[in-house]
Amino acid sequence: MSVRSNGHGRRNGHRPPGQADAPVRVGVIGCGYWGPQLIRNFYELPAARLTGVAETRPERLEHVRHRYRGTQVFSDHRALLATDVDAIVIATPIQTHYALARDAILAGKHVLVEKPLTANVAEATELISMAQAAGVTLMTGHTFLYNPAVQALRNLVDTGELGRVYYVDAARLSLGLFQSQVNVLWDLAPHDISILSYVLDETPVAVSARGSACVQPTVHDVAYLEVLYQGGISAHVHVSWLDPAKVRRITVVGDRKMAVYNDVALVEKIRVYDKGVKPPATDTFGEFQMSYRNGEITIPFIPWQEPLKLECEHFLDCVRTGRRPLTDGRQGLEVVAVLEAADRSLKDGGSRVPVEIPQMPAAPVRTAVTADSEALSMVEPDHLLVDALVTLVEPGPQAIEAAP
């Protein structure tokens, strides 16, 4: 599929010299439940200028018109794409992601697509290829990877503090928000799947899923997912729209220590338990007694910043510099591949289904032009965390290949 110029004399996504320091012109498509959070962030960030919002519901456009004066509103996304906007953020229902992102890429715009990237693997691979051909940034909105608590959890695994990871358990439960077009896996599990692959730094190879459709006859509202990783670790994910308690918890059990990440806690989101168990040296009957260790509980200090703000800043930084996003198209594709396999397993009574992730070449990291390098040196302190994240996954071409 050919990609036409965006009309600004650039097809490779660089901001032309002279414009490198100028705010990125951002347009948002979709202003339902989540869109307003993105609109607020891009409106407030100095590195962006929110120039337009497209939404099919007139009352939501009215809301934008009153709240964000000076922002153009459109009832058709194609009118937004016809403006001089540099980057498009898509916060619409999942089934619409592919067509809207395709239109944006074809118009030469950088794109941030809310999670999950698309409704199936074929659509995701096509978007990745198109974005590469157009030389524009394609990023997936896996917000939790910008959450400082998830960074801290990854650090605990990465530094070996927990020891060898035995298994992971995740729960994301509450009453609602019920959806009619997608099941609870597609709605909630993208968060856990993206977090787990990132924290474990492993690629999922197989999944099995079981669940129930309690309230709507054909839409699963409760699901239990088992994800097997290349390194042999298994993760269990329980997602539900039908639970009396709001739970957002991930437990990582290692052979040295155990960590619990409780996202519902306002402070002290992670607790590290110096607990463990050692089998006896002999298993002779009568001498068989496990030795349990019950040590200290430590609570790491996690400086808090709004994850969505960090995600938006990271997107702007990638647009300005050509860096590969931490949550790029391939990372979005991996999550979609797990969901697609999980859906097959759900229909097949919980059978183990391989996760098939098409091999996509890594998008070449667009080297910054001189003016962009100047822009880089101007980044504000808030950028430091995200810059550090990017450094983690982009120390060199080898690491880029290996990144999840």
Ligand X SMILES: NC(=O)c1ccc[n+]([C@@H]2O[C@H](COP(=O)([O-])OP(=O)(O)OC[C@H]3O[C@@H](n4cnc5c(N)ncnc54)[C@H](O)[C@@H]3O)[C@@H](O)[C@H]2O)c1
Chain residues binding ligand X by CB under 6 A are 29-35, 54-57, 60, 77, 91-94, 96, 100, 114-115, 141, 143
Minimum gap (Å) between residue 327 Cβ and ligand X: 10
Indicate the residue among 64 and 209 with the shorter CB distance to ligand X.
64
Helix (H) or strand (E) holding 272: strand 270-278
CB 133 within 8 A of CB 351: no
| Omega cis (within 30) before 148 | no
Indicate the residue among 115 and 269 with the shorter CB distance to ligand X.
115
Query: What's the CA gap between 153 and 258, in Å, rounded?
Result: 11
104, 141, 288, 323 from 367: Cα distances, Å: 23, 23, 61, 8
CB 259 within 8 A of CB 162: yes
Residue nearest to ligand X (CB): 32
Minimum gap (Å) between residue 333 Cβ and ligand X: 15
Minimum gap (Å) between residue 49 Cβ and ligand X: 20
Minimum gap (Å) between residue 389 Cβ and ligand X: 16
Minimum gap (Å) between residue 24 Cβ and ligand X: 20
| Angle separating helix axes 307-321 and 370-377, nearest 10 degrees | 150
Indicate the residue among 242 and 371 with the shorter CB distance to ligand X.
242
CA angle at residue 232 from 230 to 233, to 5 degrees?
105
Query: What's the CA gap between 384 and 388, in Å, rounded?
Result: 6
Burial of residue 169 (CB within 10 Å: 0-12, 13-18, 19+) is middle
Indicate the residue among 30 and 135 with the shorter CB distance to ligand X.
30
Indicate the residue among 213 and 308 with the shorter CB distance to ligand X.
308
Indicate the residue among 19 and 140 with the shorter CB distance to ligand X.
140
Cα four-point dihedral sign 101, 15, 379, 369: positive
Residue 212 has which token pair?
Answer: 């129930």
Minimum gap (Å) between residue 6 Cβ and ligand X: 20
Indicate the residue among 186 and 273 with the shorter CB distance to ligand X.
186
CB 33 within 8 A of CB 90: no
Minimum gap (Å) between residue 323 Cβ and ligand X: 21
CB 328 within 8 A of CB 193: no
